[in-house]
Homo-oligomer: A and B are copies of this chain.
Amino acid sequence: MFEQLGLIGCGLMGGSFALALKKAGLVKRVVGYSKSPSTTERARQMGVIDVEAPSALLAVSGADLVLLAVPVSATETTFKAIRHLVGPNTLIMDVGSTKREVIDAARRVLRDQVGVFVPAHPITGKELAGVENADPDLYAGRQVILTPIERTQPAQLDKAHAVWTALGCHVKQMSPEAHDAAYAAVSHLPHMIAFALMNAVTGQSQGEEFLSLAGPGFRDFTRIAASDPSIWRDILMSNREELLAQSRHFQRALHAFETAIAADNPDALESLIDRASTSRAHWRMSAIKPRS
């Protein structure tokens, strides 16, 4: 049980975390701050937070748990804003989709106190951002990746494990480097591809007509293309090297399809599809969410 959650960023991810903690009876008080005062006010009106803080620093004042739920690019500024009230027993976590840049920022700003920060990435989300879409069950049944560094304090890491587990998450621990490589492959690249496909279609003169004909396969394939532009600008930028490396892997794989097709080689094409289809048919998402 935490006395106070200091929530910095009261959007979809932060708001859902506050609601989940409250639902699980794990926190007495949530003090929230968002860059936009109207968001903070909305969060209080919705009962996502109990008290509006006029600054990130004041949200942290008195908090034994701090969640940074801000765009990855705002991490360093946020650490700077709160560093003076970070105590030795505070647990600070983030929810960023990339980890190396976030950790670099934490090292630079928190310095000797960096051990209280446990970098976290919950594998969940919605295309609809904003506190109005906050959902106490957003994290239930999902994976959460923790990427501690050598200086992370064991007590803080244990508390981080405990809180996510109590929210019904499956906690996994890995290095920041391994994390960033994996999510470049299975999340950041798919997003970039889905964005690019939308632009490729709408950039053609018959684009609108094409879109009007699209069916359920297109719907699911492009769902992630509706994601928030500034959030995803940050994610793609902050993991650029891994992302570009994964994009090269993908383009080689795509080229193999084009080569088989252009060479009029149906056997080669079928064997490429068969490999993909078999892997996908056997894949199951870890920590399957019990509700739909």
Contact = CB atoms under 8 A, between A and B. Distances in A.
A258 interface: yes
A220 B217 contact: no
Contact of A220 (B201, B224, B247): B224
5 contacts: A187-B215, A196-B253, A196-B257, A213-B286, A220-B223
A213 B244 contact: no
Nearest to A222: B280
Given A186-B214, A257-B192, A279 B198 contact: yes
A228 B276 CA distance: 10
Chain A contact residues (Cβ within 8 angstroms of B): what range? 35 or more
Interface string A156-188: 000000000000000010000010011101110
Instruction: Report the 6 A-B pairs with minimum CB-CB distance, sorted nearest first.
Output: A123-B215, A195-B276, A198-B276, A186-B214, A200-B253, A233-B270
Given A198-B280, A257-B192, A261-B237, A221 B218 contact: no
Copy total for this chain = 2
B240 A262 contact: yes
Contacts of A203: 249, 253
A250 to B, nearest CB: 4
A36 interface: no
A121 B185 CA distance: 34
B190 A275 contact: no
